[in-house]
Amino acid sequence: MKHLPAIVLFIWLGAMLLARAFDVHGNDIDLNAILAPPNLVHPFGTDDLGRSILARTLRGAEVSFVIAVLVTLVTMSVGVLVGLLAGFYGGKIDKLLMQVTDIFLAFPGILLAIAFAAVLGPGMANLMIALCLSGWVSYARLTRGQALSLRNRQHVQASLSLGASVPRLLVKHILPLLSSILIVEATYSLASIMIAEASLSFLGLGIQAPNASWGAMLRDGVRYMLVAPHYVLIVGLSLMSLILAINLLGDQLRDKLDVREA
């Protein structure tokens, strides 16, 4: 039971790699099997163009996962850098940063990402830009708060009085203390970015046809729900299992690394 989330995640990753290795792209059209329920040839059934839902689910998972990892890396790097500088230097820089983040946080939930994606236009690159533009703020806030209190720790002050440069201080003495909270935060953000990506693709702002994405598949699934309920159900359950696995893994990491909930 305890290892279930990790196992589920590994199964997904393994299946994605296998799909990649055997070059399963899910774009083969079988017009004799439109919206077919699960059967021997297509274990998860087919979609409205007769494409294998299994293949498309795997491809969609891969796209979603890659985007989540890349966006997390970018938003975390930018957010941590900005947060460290603001928290460490304080004063005017800090004030300005807090103003800017306040403005970003005044847009609830995914609204800002929707707005950016809307004006940038659809497509994977623009989708990632939109997610990055709206995602760095929470990291900046988190890091700033931590840096603010860590700045006054004795080992930091000691190293400062020994003449350590600021970059050295930040990287060698403050960042390591932040690492566990950042690892936990990054795990949760993988899940939330996958959700955000799927939301945008659901609205038609993300990944474009014929490429597979869970958001677009869910939208099509809703469209054909009356004739082919398996479609929306399978994509829905896939999404749920992966998101749950990642979030539960985040919980376990949090307990293990002893990070108190913010």
Partner 1 sequence: MIKRLLSMAPVVFGVLLLTFLLMHIVPGDPVEVMLGDSASIADREQLREELGLNQPLVTQFGSYLSKLGHGDLGKSIHTNTPIVDLLSARYPATLKLAFLSLIIGLVIGIPLGIYAALKAGHWQDFVVTIVSVRFSAMPAFWLGPMLMLLFAVWLGWVPVSGMDEPASILLPALTLGFGLSAILTRMTRTSLLEVLNDDFIRTARAKGLNEKTVIVRHALRAALLPIVTIVGLQMGSLLAGTVITETIFSWDGIGRLLVESIEKRDYPVTQACVLTIALSYVLVNLATDLLYARLDPRVKHVM
Contacts to partner 1 from residues 107-126, by CB under 8 A:
107-111, 114-116, 118-121
Output 35 or 203, the one with its CB closest to partner 1: 203
**Least Å distance between CB 75 and partner 1?**
18
Q: Is 244 near partner 1 (CB under 8 A)?
A: yes
Pair 34, 50: CB distance under 8 Å: yes
**Least Å distance between CB 213 and partner 1?**
12
**Per-residue DSSP letter, 46:** B
Q: Is 252 near partner 1 (CB under 8 A)?
A: no
Window contacting partner 1 (CB under 8 A); options: 27-35, 41-49, 145-153, 197-205 = 197-205
Q: Is 102 near partner 1 (CB under 8 A)?
A: yes
* Structure tokens given for 84: 């460290």
* Beta-bridge partner residues of 136: none
Rounded CA-CA distance 218/123 in Å is: 18
Q: Is 226 near partner 1 (CB under 8 A)?
A: yes
Q: Hey, how many other C-beta atoms are within 10 angstroms of the C-beta on 207?
A: 26
Rg (CA), the chain: 22
Q: Is 100 near partner 1 (CB under 8 A)?
A: yes
What's the first-to-final CA gap in the chain, in angstroms? 27
Pair 8, 22: CB distance under 8 Å: no
Interface residues with partner 1 (CB under 8 A)? 99-100, 102-104, 106-111, 114-116, 118-121, 191, 195, 198-199, 202-205, 215, 218-219, 221-222, 225-226, 229, 232-233, 236, 239-240, 243-244, 247
